[in-house]
Structure 1
Amino acid sequence: MSNPKLTVLMPVYNAASYLHEAIDSILQQTFRDFEFLIIDDGSTDQSIAIVQSYKDPRIRFVRNETNVGIAATLNRGIELASCELIARMDADDISYPDRLQKQYDYMMHDSACALLSTWCRVVTAAGKHVRLERYTSRFFYYNLTFECWIYHPTVMFRKAAVKEVGMYSMPYSEDYDLFWKLAQKFRIANLGEILLDYRLSPTSLNTVLRKKEYDVANRKNVLRNLRHYMGNDFSIPEEYLECLRHHTVPIATLNDIPKIVDCLAILEQITEQISKTPNVNRNENDIAEAAWFKRDFIVYQLFQELPWPNNLWLLVKTRKLNHITRKTSYALRWRIKKIKHYFSFSNNKVILI
């Protein structure tokens, strides 16, 4: 087709089990003026035959001669894309019918935005609901320092901006690395609507097949991010770093309240530097609020993981005693209410309703 307005870029590698659903979800979009660039990265299953069974003229099918990995495949797709706007898609996910239209409209309205993500629904391999990912959009910039809230197949980005920051440059955690680089030079945004089903498939690289490699790369990215604000000589104990990534078990296992307090003090220092550092995405009020929620979440997690009485001592040291008491009381009342919802008591018998 000639002069499409948008490129949809989808890498494929041994995705035959879900490929029909993924392709159909793009071809059935309400926004229709796009090219669908599908790049096979050396599949050995029926993926190639499935793609070739489609006759839609919007599909451009390209095959890598050998398996080169997702980062190299995506970079090839960016170079081949006919359009300035590129929407990412994965071969095992499902885009909702109005996803492209809503993202396209936003990007056309806000020419300064280089990256736009959306909320999503996480589903099992069989498509059953697991959870909704509805993070507060105002907090994306702050939290990108410590973790990646952005789901890769939900994004739409500008080709020129991605090329300016060096495109995908890591074999693992390539999306987190790219999003961070974009956020340092351009405005990023999140559309607060669920517009994609994100599948937890057994062939997922980041959660199954290469989980260890992705986790190592994620830690490397977080340390890089922290040094951006704190200086190149900044170092931090491994259990502190994991705590800031919301993996609180390592530091809880130490059962050392002074170290936990020290970790939270370092978090405050990092937050102060993030708030001071010029950036097009910086909003001091949003940063302060996001930091408060982050600290609150960490303390609450540790409260549940630490043994008595150190969990109570943690609340005293972090001045969270009243707050956590209220939260725990609320959680208890919620559980009792839920139990009453499922059970009724009649004539001293418990009846399931």
Structure 2
Amino acid sequence: MTAVDTLDIMLPHYGDTGLLQAAVRSVLDQTDKDWRLTVVDDGREEGVPEWFASLGDSRVRYMRNERNLGITKNFRKCVELVESTHFTMLGSDDLLLPDYVATIRAAIEAVPDAAIYQPGVEVIDEHGNPSTTLGDEVKKRLYAPKDKSRRLVLSGEPLAANLLGGNWLYFPSIAWRADAVKEISFREDLSVIQDLALIIELIRRGEKLVVEPVTAFRYRRHSGSLSSAEAVTGARFGEAVRFFNEVAVELDRHGWPKAARAARRHLSMRLHALTLLPGALRQRRTDTIRTLLGYALSSSQR
């Protein structure tokens, strides 16, 4: 190949072995066979190394961390291990549709100077059934591009402001240009919102986002995910507030006042906090209720 190198699929794993195996099978089932899968196992589940050895596929590389690194350090390790020009950071509970690699390679060939490639995504629940959540619907209707008929190329302050208002991207489905990400990588001080931090920094540096209309990925939402667990306790919002306030200052200095205002307001995250209140009320989590209300109703800055 000349325009597009072999696609590196990086899979940082911790959790359910059955979901991991399903994710790996979705890679093996790709119509475009020019991929390389690297699994970095941050867990200790029995039988996993043996299962990978039984696959007998030279395109699949498996390694287990000597000690638990945690989600962000494992992400950073995956970035360091990328060898190709482009890569995907697949979630171990998500699924590639059979044309994912072909779809991404076509998008890269069409717009080779972009850094972020977002294919179409189908949201599923923990059982693999199509799922619609309030958060997904709000982001789709208020923030995501309305034109689904063609490939879009987005960049600059309008894109940053849009994503800081409501992040409609699906991190595990994204393909990345490796050199751009390796220069920044994931912030070690963030555990839930590190993907948005990376994306905003790439955009601030002048990189482009390609939105591909072809649905090629199945993104799983379930109560067992780290982001869901931290959301229920309200823990993720403290990290979010810190990030939004910090990036607002940086964007003001960068000369992007509209994006800075969107960061300070972070309306979509406030709405998300409100949607979690019924669950907190049902579980009678007084501290969580107070945290969510404080976050959702605090006065936004101009």
TM-score over 0.5 (shorter chain)? yes
Aligned residue in 2 for 1:86: 87
What is the 5 A alignment of 1:18-167? 18-44=19-45, 46-131=47-132, 134=140, 135-136=144-145, 140-167=159-186
Distance 1:95 1:140, change over 3 A: farther
Instruction: Give, as a single letter, the amino acid of the residue that structure 2 aligns with 1:182.
Output: L
For residues 17 and 61 of structure 2, the distance between their equivalents in structure 1, rounded to whole angstroms, comes to 18
Instruction: Please list, as runs of the form range in 1=range in 2, the aligned pairs for 1:129-278 lying within 5 A after superposition.
Output: 129-131=130-132, 134=140, 135-136=144-145, 140-172=159-191, 173-185=193-205, 186-208=207-229, 212-230=234-252, 241=265, 243=267, 245-247=269-271, 249=274, 250=293, 266=302
What secondary structure sits across from 1:145 in the alignment? Answer: helix
CA distance in 1: counterparts of 2:185 and 2:24, whole angstroms: 28
Number of matched pairs: 252
1:241 to 1:31, Cα distance in 2 relative to 1, 3 A: same
Whole-angstrom CA distance in 1 between matches of 2:230 and 2:28: 29
Contact 1:127 1:199 in 2 (8 A): yes
Give the 3 Å change call, closer, same or farther, for CA 192–43 of structure 1 in structure 2.
Answer: farther
Q: When the two structures are superposed, what TM-score results if normalisation uses the length of structure 1?
A: 0.63
Whole-Å Cα distance in 1 between the matches of residues 65 and 230 of structure 2? 21
Query: Could you say if the C-alpha distance between residues 127 and 228 of structure 1 is closer, same or farther in structure 2, counting changes exceeding 3 Å?
Result: same
Give the conservation status (yes or no) of the 8 Å contact 1:122–1:199: yes
5+ long unaligned stretches in structure 1: 267-353
Report the Cα distance in structure 2 between the residues aligned to 1:52 and 1:98, rounded to whole angstroms: 25
Question: Which residue of structure 2 lines up, in the alignment, with residue 276 of structure 1?
Answer: none
Return closer, same or farther for 1:110/1:149 CA change in 2, 3 Å cut-off: same
Residues 97/140 of structure 1: CA separation in 2 closer, same or farther (3 Å cut): farther
Tell me, which stretches of 5 or more residues in structure 2 are unaligned? Answer: 146-151, 275-292
Paired letter, 1:195: A
| CA spacing shift, 1:33–1:128, aligned 2, 3 Å | same
Over alpha carbons, which structure has the higher Rg?
1
Give the deviation of 1:38 after TM superposition: 0.6
TM-score normalised according to structure 2 size: 0.72
Shift in alpha-carbon separation, 1:178–1:170, aligned structure 2, 3 A? farther
Q: For 1:131 and 1:190, how far apart are their aligned partners in 2?
A: 21
Letter of the structure 2 residue corresponding to residue 183 of structure 1: I
Q: Any conservation in 2 of the 1:14–1:43 contact (CA below 8 Å)? A: no
- CA RMSD, 1 decimal: 3.2
Q: Distance in 2 between matches of 1:252 and 1:28?
A: 43
Amino acid at match of 1:67: N
Distance across 1 between alignment mates of 2:56 and 2:77: 23
Contact in 2 for aligned 1:26/1:95 (Cα 8 Å):
yes
Q: CA deviation at 1:252?
A: 12
Relative contact order: is structure 1 or structure 2 higher (C-alpha 8 Å, sep ≥ 6)? 2
Q: Percent identity?
A: 20
Per-residue CA deviation, residues 79-109 of structure 1 (Å, 9 max, x unaligned), is 1222111112111111111111111121122
- Answer with 137-146 or 170-179: which moved more: 137-146
Provide closer, same or farther for how the CA distance between residues 44 and 252 of structure 1 changes in structure 2, counting only shifts above 3 A: closer
Partner of 1:344: none
Quote how far apart the aligned CAs of 1:166 are: 4.0
Distance 2:223 2:268 in 1: 28
Classify 1:56/1:218 alpha carbon distance in 2 versus 1 (closer, same or farther; 3 Å). same
